[in-house]
Amino acid sequence: MFRFPDLPINVVKPKEPVEAKIVESKICTLESSPNFIRHIVIDVSGTPLVGQFKAGQSIGVVAPGVDADGKPHKVRLYSVSSPSGGEGGNPNLVTTTVKRVVDENWETQELFTGVCSNYLCSKKAGDTLMISGPSGKRFILPENKEECNYVFFATGTGIAPFRAFLLDLFNSGFKGQVALCFGTPYRTDLLYHKWLTELAEKHENFHYFTAISREGRRADGTKTYVQHLVLDHKDVLEPILAADNTLMYICGLEGMEAGIYSNLASMGLYDYMKPGKNILDKPNTEWTWSDFKENVKPSDRTMVEVY
């Protein structure tokens, strides 16, 4: 039922990156936020990458300079947030959604700024950079995308591929059901929120739900995470998830995956997961949260990119 295309990867290899140009770089959080996240438009014209990046794939970026061991920096991957035909239908333009990684080393109390995310977010229109790709073969839409339904789970910049998927779906008149569950720390951190809200208003078959983790608490005192939306919006999500032609996609922080399986299992929706051999001797109704975390893997109907 689900047929996936065999997309070309590494048309440009990370060891031989090509020069591309930044066309635009703008903050894409809902309001000013302590998290700096940018929608970055890159022009790949004149390179073998024209028209190559498809929704769900990633761009390789190589920051200049060397790491602590004196070796050239390794390539970092950034998900494509533009549709498969290129941003605005222009195959020369590919976009991504990048968060500046800023951290404090708890032991030394030194400020740590991630190498590549800060390199990329400091680039301005007209600047050049070295890129490779595409990367990724599995986290993509099926060939027969119009015959399926979708439930997407994103945390933070994990929204990037879903912007691309939604553009691919609705640019080609998608009539099935698609739901997006999006989690961020604060309301200010919601990415592409205005566009997503308008898309949901325009298309009855698109359902957009958000989980804001650090504002308010659930009745049991815990934070609201994306996996809770399965329960909070059961009326909408359960029928979509129960359909045979639905695919589930998860992108962002690793922690959400087990929580999603666990909540789906509580609704009897086991088709999205595969038990590891360590728990096959237990009835699935007795699986614990740690079973989901350690022994349950995605099934063929679940696409996962978490870190």
Please tell me whether residue 78 binds ligand FAD under the rule CB under 6 A.
yes
C-alpha–C-alpha distance, residues 268 and 126, integer Å: 52
Q: Which of 223, 233, 274, 293 binds ligand NAP (CB under 6 A)?
A: 223
C-alpha–C-alpha distance, residues 3 and 46, integer Å: 32
Please tell me whether residue 185 binds ligand FAD under the rule CB under 6 A.
no
Nearer to ligand NAP, 106 or 307 (CB): 307
Q: Which does 105 bind (CB under 5 to 8 A by kind): ligand FAD, ligand NAP, none?
A: ligand FAD
Q: What are phi and psi of 185, to 5 degrees?
A: -65, -50
For residue 201, which of 190, 193, 213 has the smallest C-alpha distance?
193
Reading the block at residue 116, the tokens are 């590549």
Helix (H, G, I), strand (E, B) or coil at 156: helix
Minimum distance from CB of 35 to ligand FAD (Å)? 10
Reading the block at residue 96, the tokens are 């991504």
Please tell me whether residue 225 binds ligand NAP under the rule CB under 6 A.
yes
Q: Which of 87, 168, 189, 291 binds ligand NAP (CB under 6 A)?
A: 189
| Contact string (CB under 6 A) for ligand FAD, positions 85-114, x = contact | -----------xxxx-x-x-x------x-x
Reading the block at residue 121, the tokens are 């977010």
Q: Which of 58, 149, 177, 224 binds ligand FAD (CB under 6 A)?
A: 58
Give yes or no for a contact between 178 and 150, defined as CB atoms under 8 angstroms apart. Answer: yes
Give yes or no for a contact between 142 and 249, defined as CB atoms under 8 angstroms apart. Answer: no
Nearer to ligand NAP, 14 or 156 (CB): 156
DSSP-assigned states of every residue in 61-115: E--SSB-TTSSBPPPEEEEB-S-TT-GGG-TTEEEEEEEPPEEE-TTT--EEE-H
- Entry field: residues in the chain: 307
Q: Which residues bind ligand FAD (CB under 6 A)?
A: 58, 76-79, 96-99, 101, 103, 105, 112, 114-118, 157, 160, 305, 307
Provide the binding-site residues for ligand NAP, judged by CB under 6 A.
Answer: 35, 79, 99, 155-158, 160-161, 183-185, 189, 213-214, 223, 225-227, 251-253, 255-256, 259, 305, 307
